[in-house]
Every structure is written in structure tokens, then in C-alpha cells.
Amino acid sequence: MGHNHRGRAAAAGVAVTVERAAWLRAAASALEHAAGELVPLAARETRLPELPRLHAELDRTAFQLRLFGHTLTDGEFLCATVDHADPHWEMGARPDLRRMVVPIGPVLVFAAGNFPFALSVAGHDTAAALAAGCPVVVKAHPGHPELSVRTGEILVDALTWAGAPPNIVAVICETEAGVAALRHEEIAAASFTGSVAGGRALFDIAAARPRPIPFYGELGSLNPVLVTPGAVRARGPEIAAGYVSSFTLGAGQFCTKPGLLLLPEGHGLTGTLRAAVAATHGQPMLDDRIAEGYHATLAGLRDDPATEVISAPDAVADTVEPTLLRVTADEFVAAAPQLRTECFGPSSLIVEYTDTTSIHRVLAALEPALTATIHAEDTEYDTIRPLLPTLTRLAGRLVWNGWPTGITLTWAQQHGGPYPATTTTSMGPAAIDRVLRPVAWQEFPDALLPPALRDANPWDLLRRIDGKR
């Protein structure tokens, strides 16, 4: 691609996607090269273990930047659509009309506390915005301030050397600065990962602006898991072990933690579950504020007259041991508003159902979630099928015979669900769509069109031409 093409693309307000892919690859490599500095810094600020967790998360973050780069070189995300003029068009002669997406404008990213790399300064939402061609302002999470500043320096250095405009990424640190940025008229969209209360407060600010902007919040999610009688009979102990492993992973500080397990009455797994919990090790939580929030929410759940403790630590300590509670389906439905609150930490609630009607009543009492998981046998499809419409309405990802924690990154990934799981968001390559907006060009001269829409298709994109792909 010659210099002239680049110049014209910039002039049309559409940055050159192939170059942006190179920026993202440069950022990924810079993070990997800085692992020796960044991982110990992250461990000190977040109390998360360096191995395997923080090294794996840094690798994931680099992969994520490159995956968005791949999305760019593919170019389908542009939705390039060309309709030639047609004097015989059914609703009357039509002009030449061409459409594609352009960057929405500067994006404000509120970094998450629980993923100091993957959902922070150089994380998912930053990668998506840079891929789309949007400048980014990151509001650092207070849980890892030094890491945030240092990651920002490394990111800006890498992007600048790769040819990105200076100041395409900025990091700000104070809460007040974040709120001021959210109100700033130049900010065109914002994203957030955190609690329902914090996310809703920011959503309300975004919606109340003189010019409202989209706010992509990932808030709270119970991530229910349904286990059928057949699955209990076939592999009850294995399911119990997987469940305890999943809800205690990372001290339960994952948005996809299974917070609710639906088991058939008389499942006979209580002893197995108690033993599995007892075999876990206490883990430190990210910071004191999060630990305090966890203990307060958990106390509310434990004090609810409907719940019974299966396993819980004797006392509050520096490292937190898991808590497992139990309730019957009828009790859960009666008490749902209190019991369906996400408890961010290593606790989960078992709900014991009697029959399919009982399952339906529990699902109807739940709020939407990021994920819904089913453990069932191949002989039980006819039992499961009637539940699928409800589960599809309830969650953004349905998992079969697995666990919701451990989110792979692929083209088909989707991380989001109806409110309060998220406001209107998705994670994975499709998240680039959140920070793009469509524009149509009518009867434009070829030389003034963005390259992606010119007759010669100089970028060799997948395009829809006169309705045909």
C-alpha cells in the first residue's frame, strides 16, 4: 500500500487498519518483554500469585492484543457494503450508496481490579478501542496503581515507536478524574468492569450527560449451574470436585464464578463437597476493601434464615477459605432477592430442587447472568430441551458439561449477558463493534471515498455488493 493510499485513508477519517494491527502486535511484544518487571509488580499490588496466574494472564493479554490485530487484517468488521446506483430499483431509482463503520471517538476505559493485565491498562477494552481506531483514556484501578502507570508507559512507548499518534493512550488515576472524564464532551463511549453499585453509578452519569454516550458495563453475575439427576448418578463426585475447584479459583474473584449450583434433592454429595472444600487452601483477596465487601455480603447470606452452612471457615483470617451454603428450591424462590446477590469471593450456594417444575421456578427467580452451565447425560436431551429458551434468555454463554471460569479467546467468544450481568456489552473479537459507528456515502467520487469502499477494493476486503456476499 503506497503512501498515497495511506494519506487518503487518513483524510477520510478512517485510519489504516493494517497499520493499527501492527501497533497492536508491537504492544503485545512490549508487554511480553516487560514481563520480568510487570509480573512482580502486579503480584505485590494484587496479592495474586506470579505463577501460574500472573504470567498466564500477561500471556493472555498479549494474545488478546494480537487477536484484535487479526480481526483488523481480516477486515470483515468494517461491514463494507456497496450498492451501485440502480434506475430500476424496486422502490424507485436509487443513488450509489456505500456504508462502512468508523471509530466512534475517544473511549474511556475503567480498568478492573481482578485482572491487572487482561482487563486493565493494556487489556481487553483498550485493545478493542485501539483496534477500532479510537484513542483511549484508561482510568486505572486503585488496586494496582504503580502497575497501571508502568503498563501505560510501556504501552505508549510501544505504540509510538510502531507509528501510532502520540497520546493515543492516556492513563489517569483518581476517581474524580475518572468521573470528570466520563462527563467530558469529547469522550464518545465508556467501558467498565466491576460491581453493580459502582457500574450503575457510572452508567447513570453517562446517561445523564447533555450528550449521552454508550456505557459498556460488566457488573454482577451469579452464573448458575444446573446438574441433572443423571449427571449426579454418572459422575457426581467428579462434578462436585470441578465445582469446588471452579468457585474457589482465584479466591472466587472471577466474574464467571459459579455462584449457584442446582442439585437434585437427595444428591448424596454433601460429604464429598465438604471434603473438597476442606482440601482447598486459603488465599489472600485482592485488597482489604474487596475482602471487607466479601465478608459483609457473605454474612448477609449466612444470616439468612433459609440458608444452611455446608462448609465455612472458623474465623476471618488474612487468607480466605471457601464457604459453601445450601438452601431448598422453595426457600430460594421465597428468598430470591437477598440470595441472588453476587458475592465476590470464594463462596457459592447450592439450591436443591425436587423436579423440573422446581428447576423452572428457580430459573425464573434468577437475574440474568454472564453464563449458565448444564451438567447432563446424553440420555437427558428431552429433559434439557424445554429449559433452553429460559437459559438462553438468562445468559450470554451456555456451557455444557464444563465450568464457566476459564474463558478462552476465539472468534466465537461472547462475554456478556442481559442486565445486570452487563449493560450492553460483549467480550471477544466482536467487542470491536461497540466502539464503531456506521456512516454511509451517497454518490461520492471514488477518489474521496475511504479505500475500503472504492470500486477497486484496494484492501481486498470481504464486501457486500448490491446485496450479494
Between strands 283-284 and 319-320, the pairing is antiparallel
Residue 448 found at the interface with a copy of itself (CB under 8 A)? yes
Residue 340 found at the interface with a copy of itself (CB under 8 A)? no
Residue 462 found at the interface with a copy of itself (CB under 8 A)? yes
State whether residue 406 is helix, strand or coil: coil
Secondary structure element (H or E) that encloses residue 259, with its range = none
Shortest CB 16 distance to a copy of itself, Å: 14
Residue 184 found at the interface with a copy of itself (CB under 8 A)? no
Using the contact rule CB under 8 A, the part of the chain among 146-154, 165-173, 211-219, 251-259 near a copy of itself is: 211-219
Beta carbons within 8 Å of 201's beta carbon, 6+ residues apart = none
Shortest CB 317 distance to a copy of itself, Å: 32
Q: How far apart are CA 402 and CA 347, in angstroms?
A: 19
Question: What is the distance of C-alpha 252 from the center of its chain?
Answer: 16
**If binding means CB under 8 A, how many residues of this protein chain bind a copy of itself?**
86
Residue 458 found at the interface with a copy of itself (CB under 8 A)? no
Residue closer to a copy of itself (CB basis): 328 or 425 = 425
Could you tell me the maximum CA-CA distance found in the chain, to the nearest angstrom? 80
**Cis ω before 40 (30° cut-off from 0):** no
Q: Are the CB atoms for 63 and 52 separated by under 8 Å?
A: no
Ramachandran class of 267: left when φ > 0, alpha when ψ lies in -120 to 50, beta otherwise: alpha
| Residues 38-77, mask of contacts with a copy of itself (x by CB under 8 A) | ------------------x--xx--x------x---x-x-
Q: Which 389-428 residues touch a copy of itself, going by CB under 8 A?
A: 389, 392-393, 395-402, 408-414, 416, 418-420, 423-424, 426, 428
Q: How far apart are CA 397 and CA 261, in angstroms?
A: 16
Residue 457 found at the interface with a copy of itself (CB under 8 A)? no
Q: Which 263-282 residues touch a copy of itself, going by CB under 8 A?
A: none
Q: Which of 2, 36, 92, 337 binds a copy of itself (CB under 8 A)?
A: 92
Using the contact rule CB under 8 A, the part of the chain among 97-105, 247-255, 261-269, 355-363 near a copy of itself is: 97-105
Q: How far apart are CA 273 and CA 268, in angstroms?
A: 10
Residue among 45, 57, 134, 255 flagged as catalytic: 255
State whether residue 324 is helix, strand or coil: strand
C-beta atoms surrounding 366 within 10 Å: 21
Any catalytic annotation for residue 343? no
Residue among 45, 57, 218, 342 flagged as catalytic: 218
Counting every residue, how long is the chain? 469
**Cis ω before 52 (30° cut-off from 0):** yes
DSSP state of 165: P
Any catalytic annotation for residue 255? yes
Q: Which 236-265 residues touch a copy of itself, going by CB under 8 A?
A: none
Residue 13 found at the interface with a copy of itself (CB under 8 A)? yes
Question: What is the distance of C-alpha 325 from the center of its chain?
Answer: 27
Q: Are the CB atoms for 368 and 420 separated by under 8 Å?
A: yes
Q: Which of 116, 152, 214, 229 binds a copy of itself (CB under 8 A)?
A: 214
Using the contact rule CB under 8 A, the part of the chain among 241-249, 252-260, 304-312, 442-450 near a copy of itself is: 442-450
Catalytic residues: 218, 255
